Structure 1
Amino acid sequence: MALDDTSGRTVGAKMNLDTALAAALLVELALAERISVAPAEAGWLERGKVTVINGRPTDDPDLDAVLAKLLAKEGQKVKNLVSTVSWRPISRGLRDRRLARLVQQGVLVENRTEVLGLRRYLTRDSGPQQEVRARLKSALIDGLTPTERTVALIALLEASGILHKLFPAEQRKLVKTRARQLSEGDWAAKAVKDAIAEASG
């Protein structure tokens, strides 16, 4: 969703995208009940602190790496984990690993420019993207009740500056309003937006 289909260029701010990818890992762990995150109501010292609930390995190497990092040092804060300027953020190298995985799965194809040899990733299989777009349209345009994971995805895309670019200009006001309504009532979405805003600011 963060790559233009024809040019392969990144849509939105690159730093926000790296932060969003890192936040997505934490959301996945939270939704799988592997970690918990202290809410803002916990106070300045405690809010955003991550606690491991279940440290068993997952089937994803990036998620396992995050769990290992959290187990090695309890009580780390979300903003320090996802910020691209913090010491050893979980976002380091994450984008390249996820892109490589999508290439391996046949979703993307890697091309290199002739002049500088820059890497561009073009869509090979549009199926996964179409499925995500259908979920977004269902929640944001059609007004149907989305899953918690879809709401978290909406928050990630919005905080990264990508969400509004996925819809025609005439639908963007509705998308913005609906996204705000959904994220305000969902803990994972709120945590995502707060973490990205704090880490990027």
Structure 2
Amino acid sequence: MTHEQRDPRVSSPERTGGHEDGEQTLAEDLLLVLFQPRSGTIAGEATLFYVLAGAVLADLGLSAHVRTGTGRLGGLTVEAVAGNPPSDRLLRATWEYVADKPRGVQTILAATGPALREPLLDRLIERGELRRRARRSLGFIRSSVLEEGDSARRRTLLADIRAVLVDGVEPTPRTAALAALLYGSGTLPQFDHDIPWTSPVIMRAEELKEGNWGAGATAKAVARSVTSLIVSNVIVAAAVLPRT
């Protein structure tokens, strides 16, 4: 396959997971937050591939691996920052896709999103943040269920998001992007037990979606702009699909 024909779903061989500094990707954290311990399901499955692909783009924006531009018809495009590929293989697959040429956000979400759920889920299971338990139905039908692992990371992430949306704590750029993506997924009302679905919370989430992250994010002004534009496009894309 030539460079121009590269399939965005093909992974680069450098790394199997995580940022070079060991930090988990934004998409991994988003998928972990979307896991519902009571039911063993992932919230928002119908729109999940859009949201996970948006998290990958947001991660690339926060790390200055991509930037936005304007297409011939005035629409938002994303292009790779030359010479600055990410080390993580899933992030790099998307970076390589936009390195071929600038592409519209909707195109990127549709092309890269469907292949993300399983490898991201495997990473969470490998680290013990989730567990996959085998079970039998009717005594002979084998299936598996997801359970929360021993790690407290999901609870920590939810606490950070709650602090921003409910308590008005100024977020880090990463937490702001995570909260905005959670809101953009349309699943935030399902977290009412942990994050009350109230008018002030909705207003704060809207602010994050628009890129109003607070003075502490000033140094990330470009990344904030990239991420807010991406999240807005995720919301537009997700809105046309039925929710679960």
TM value normalised by structure 1: 0.84
SS for the counterpart of 2:150 is coil
Alpha-carbon separation, structure 2, partners of 1:193 and 1:176: 15
C-alpha distance after superposition, 1:14-51 (max 9, x if no partner):
1322111001111111111111023xxx5772422111
2:64–2:81: 8 Å Cα contact kept in structure 1? yes
Residue 146 of structure 1 deviates from its aligned partner by 0.6
Q: Which residue of 2 aligns with 1:177?
A: 203
Q: Which residue of 2 aligns with 1:82?
A: 109
1:55–1:67: 8 Å Cα contact kept in structure 2? no
Residue 193 of structure 1 deviates from its aligned partner by 3.1
Alpha-carbon separation, structure 2, partners of 1:132 and 1:154: 10
Instruction: Return 52-61 or 3-12, whichever deviates more.
Output: 52-61
- 1:36 corresponds to 2:64: no
Instruction: Determine which structure has the larger strand proportion and give its number.
Output: 2
Residue 101 of structure 1 deviates from its aligned partner by 0.6
Alpha-carbon separation, structure 1, partners of 2:195 and 2:129: 30
CA-based RMSD of the aligned residues comes to 2.2
Alpha-carbon separation, structure 1, partners of 2:151 and 2:55: 21
Alpha-carbon separation, structure 1, partners of 2:158 and 2:72: 37
Structure 2 unaligned spans of 5+: 1-32, 213-224
Instruction: Return 105-114 or 15-24, whichever deviates more.
Output: 105-114
Number of equivalent positions:
191
Residue 113 of structure 1 deviates from its aligned partner by 4.2
Alpha-carbon separation, structure 1, partners of 2:63 and 2:205: 23
SS for the counterpart of 1:106 is coil
Candidates 99, 103, 108, aligned match of 2:130: 108
Residue 189 of structure 1 deviates from its aligned partner by 4.8
1:154–1:163: 8 Å Cα contact kept in structure 2? no
- Return closer, same or farther for 1:129/1:165 CA change in 2, 3 Å cut-off: same
Q: Which residue of 2 aligns with 1:86?
A: none
Q: Which residue of 2 aligns with 1:138?
A: 163
Structure 1 unaligned spans of 5+: 84-88
- Return closer, same or farther for 1:91/1:197 CA change in 2, 3 Å cut-off: same
Instruction: Return 15-24 or 188-197, whichever deviates more.
Output: 188-197
2:128–2:151: 8 Å Cα contact kept in structure 1? no
Q: Which residue of 2 aligns with 1:26?
A: 57
1:52–1:70: 8 Å Cα contact kept in structure 2? yes
1:108–1:124: 8 Å Cα contact kept in structure 2? yes
Letter in 2 for 1:153: L
TM value normalised by structure 2: 0.70
Letter in 2 for 1:78: V
Q: Which residue of 2 aligns with 1:58?
A: 86
